[in-house]
Amino acid sequence: QFNRVLLVTSQLAIAVMILASSGLMILSASRLPADSPGAKPGLPHAGAGQTVVGQLAVRSGASSDPAARGGLYRSALAALRDAPGVAAESLATPGAWMGRGPSVIAINHCGPCSAGGLPNPIHRTRVRVHAVMPGFFANRSMRILAGHGFDLPGDVELKYGRPVVINESYAQAHFIDPVGRALMLSGGTEEVWYDVVGVVSDTPRGGLGDSGPRYAVYYSAIEHPPAGIEFVATVDVPESAGLDDSLRVVRGALDAAPGGGSMGITDFRRASDDLARVWGTAGWMGRGTQAAGAVAALLVLAGVMSTLRAHIRARFRELGIRAALGAPPRSLRRMVLRETLRIGVAGTGLGLWAATSVIAFLSPRAVAIFDAPLFLLIAGLFIGGAILVGLPGARLAATAHPRTVMRAG
């Protein structure tokens, strides 16, 4: 009998642990702020008009001169920010505003790192690279966690003269005291080293096709201007308006900038289309997973209650013998309810404790290890279910003839 009680309690605890852990992860994901890693990326100045995305391509002439390209990008950003009816985010390489972009191999000086007790000062991993214009971090709500951005104070000395900023995940996984360390990005014919001058918070991740690295390296698009750059801007036109209206406003702002006529706009589209393409399937799958989780919770609850019911029925013969020996009906009823309540409370308590341990050791930091409403709901379901399962057996043991009780078992 003790082994049977232990088995039923363990089954109940495992079921509670799985449900509570899943619930904590789902709830934490739904409560992530817009600027936290794992949250869906928002739109700059959302709700103020139509948010659009486009690529700026420098036409012949200045396209072969990096310094000229950098100057054009700077004037384009200033023109978009100063234009009436336009709220512009910083310019960056395509996909950077959503955490997408090309990836390369990076080699970095970790510092006094070790692996298995042996020094491991050089790390090699794959990272995403983004060229960004001034203001990119602020407009994307990315906090500077250590060091500086690209506007360096005069007392900062650079060993290689090429500053880069890395994201928090990269800094934690491959650096000790990252500011001031050096890293090299592959892809060129020569080994070019960069100075890490700052660490920023991670960008939102997830969505369809998010299989790339979670580490990111940012460098200045003014010092290293790419051949093309992407802008995200909110235009003061109705969201339902056609793209031609927004394109006319953006084009007019660029034409007013020095050298703006040498920049063309390509791949002009709504920013919401990009979000729907990247996050639409993931959102649908997330909602489907939540629905499947609710169904699974009901099935698990039914299965555990069925196991508990079988345990009570296995004791009917013992209850019949007790009744035949003169045990009062009230004591038999209390015995059944007390045992089911004890199993329900013990199994639920162990399961909730195990869920907090699993989340604490195995889940991302953004997942909370405790949620009072969720834990109360799960405890109420399983403990209440255990009592409801025990009521018929308790009623039968207290009112029926001993022979009927023994036959039912």
* Confidence (pTM): 0.63
For 321-335, what is each residue's pLDDT tens digit? Answer: 777 777 887 888 888
What CA–CA distance (Å, rounded) separates 273 from 275? 5
pLDDT of 61 reads 61
What CA–CA distance (Å, rounded) separates 107 from 117? 21
φ/ψ (deg, to 5) at 102: -70, 160
pLDDT of 91 reads 86
pLDDT of 181 reads 93
pLDDT of 31 reads 52
| Contacts with 83 (C-beta within 8 Å, 6 or more apart), sequence order | 249, 252, 253, 256
Helices 271-314, 316-324: axis angle to 10 degrees equals 40
pLDDT of 345 reads 92
pLDDT above 90 as % of the chain: 15
What mean pLDDT, rounded, does the chain reach?
A: 80
Q: What is the DSSP string of 127-189?
A: EEEEEE-TTHHHHTT--EEEE--SS--TT---SSS-EEEEEHHHHHHH-SS-TT-EEEE-SSS
pLDDT of 335 reads 86
For 128-182, what is each residue's pLDDT tens digit? Answer: 999 998 888 888 888 999 999 888 887 788 888 899 999 999 999 999 999 999 9
Contact between residue 254 and residue 59 where contact means Cβ atoms under 8 Å apart: no
For 378-389, what is each residue's pLDDT tens digit? Answer: 899 889 888 888
Asked which of 13-27, 55-69, 323-337, 394-408 is least confident by mean pLDDT, the reply is 394-408
For 202-233, what is each residue's pLDDT tens digit? Answer: 876 655 455 678 899 999 988 888 888 898 88
pLDDT of 78 reads 85
Task: Look at residues 5, 69, 103, 30 and name the one whose alpha carbon lies nearest to residue 344.
Answer: 5
Task: Look at residues 89, 322, 364, 35 and name the one whose alpha carbon lies nearest to residue 202.
Answer: 35
